[in-house]
Amino acid sequence: ENVEQHPSTLSVQEGDSAVIKCTYSDSASNYFPWYKQELGKGPQLIIDIRSNVGEKKDQRIAVTLNKTAKHFSLHITETQPEDSAVYFCAAPEGTTDSWGKLQFGAGTQVVVTP
Amino acid sequence: ETGVTQTPRHLVMGMTNKKSLKCEQHLGHNAMYWYKQSAKKPLELMFVYNFKEQTENNSVPSRFSPECPNSSHLFLHLHTLQPEDSALYLCASSQVPRGSLYEQYFGPGTRLTVT
């Protein structure tokens, strides 16, 4: 599995929306999590989506999945300074593996300016 | 303590030293992972343990030696490291194969500097 993430950095004004996109290579992949990593902390799971749905929302964040195009995106609306962090997408390394191995994207540094 | 804890949080060691990183999960999970996080690079999976058995070793050099005495504790023993091994080492845990497959919970990491 190869996971590509874009952009590598994203600057937005407070209140605007931010979108991060990831593509994956294994069409059998069925689980797509997003992690947020703040400075000095480990990655924190913020939202995930499984292949049987196309969109999932949780307050100001949402994830969309396009299985045909093999890409999924993170959407953050009404951004706030506390949304500033590095965001990682991930996809499973194979669906037959039961040990939960994930392949991560390179990360997106999001900076929200007041 | 809750979640996944790691100690120490920061470690500076010389290339001839021997040290160990410790990870403990308080989530009742049965799988634990070591990752290496270097600047500008994706998270690199190093080792996977499931039910205390090592199920994955992603071609990691032998100067890194994992140990999993039980399903709650994971160690990474370090010896004769190289400067390029300087990175943030993250531990994670999950419940596999049942439960939320692939849902991993990370610790805060150990920032390692090799001089």
How does pLDDT run across B7-36, given as a tens digit for each residue? 999 999 998 889 999 999 999 988 899 999
The predicted structure's pLDDT at residue A85: 97
**Cα separation of B6 and A13, whole Å?**
35
Residue with tokens 């994207």: A105
A73 touches chain B (CB under 8 A): no
pLDDT of the residue at A30: 84
Q: How far is B8 from chain A (nearest CA, A)?
A: 13
Is residue A45 a contact partner of residue B103, using CB atoms and an 8 Å limit?
Answer: yes
Closest residue in A to B108 (Cα–Cα)? A42
* The predicted structure's pLDDT at residue A102: 85
Q: What is the pLDDT of residue B100?
A: 47
Chain B CB contacts of A42 below 8 Å: 4, 6, 90, 92, 106-109
**How many whole angstroms separate alpha carbon A3 and alpha carbon A72?**
10
- Residue A79 is predicted with a pLDDT of 98
Of A8, A19, A13, A6, whose CA–CA distance to A112 is shortest? A13
* pLDDT 10s digits, A37-92: 999 899 999 999 988 889 999 999 999 999 999 999 999 999 999 999 999 999 98
Q: Which two tokens stand for residue B53?
A: 């058995």
pLDDT level of residue A2 (50, 70, 90 thresholds): confident
Q: How many CB pairs under 8 A join A and B?
A: 62
The answer to whether the beta carbons of residues B24 and B5 sit under 8 Å apart is yes
In angstroms, what CA-CA distances link B56 with B19, B31, B70, B88? 22, 11, 17, 20
pLDDT score for B99: 44
Which residues, at least 6 apart from A63, have a Cβ–Cβ distance to it below 8 Å?
A32, A34, A47, A48, A49, A55, A56, A72, A73, A74, A75
Residue B40 exposed, middle or buried by CB count within 10 Å (0-12, 13-18, 19+)? exposed
pLDDT of residue A51: 80
Answer yes or no: is pLDDT of B53 > 80.
no
Q: Which of A39, A97, A101 to mutate to test the interface with B (most CBs of B within 10 A)?
A: A101
pLDDT, chain B, mean: 88
| pLDDT level of residue B48 (50, 70, 90 thresholds) | confident
Contact by Cβ (8 Å): B37, B88: yes
Is A41 an 8 Å CB contact of chain B?
Answer: yes
Residues in chain B within 8 Å Cβ distance of A9: none
Per-position b or e across A48-68, b if 16+ CB within 10 A of its CB: bbeeeeeeeeeeebbbbbeee
What is residue B46's three-state secondary structure?
A: strand
Q: Do the beta carbons of residue A31 and residue B102 sit within 8 Å?
A: yes
Q: Which two tokens stand for residue A93?
A: 């390394």
- Reported as a pLDDT band with limits 50, 70 and 90, residue A16 is very high
Give pLDDT tens digits for B70-111: 889 999 999 999 999 999 999 999 887 654 456 889 999 999
Radius of gyration of chain B (CA): 13
Q: Which amino acid is at B16?
A: T
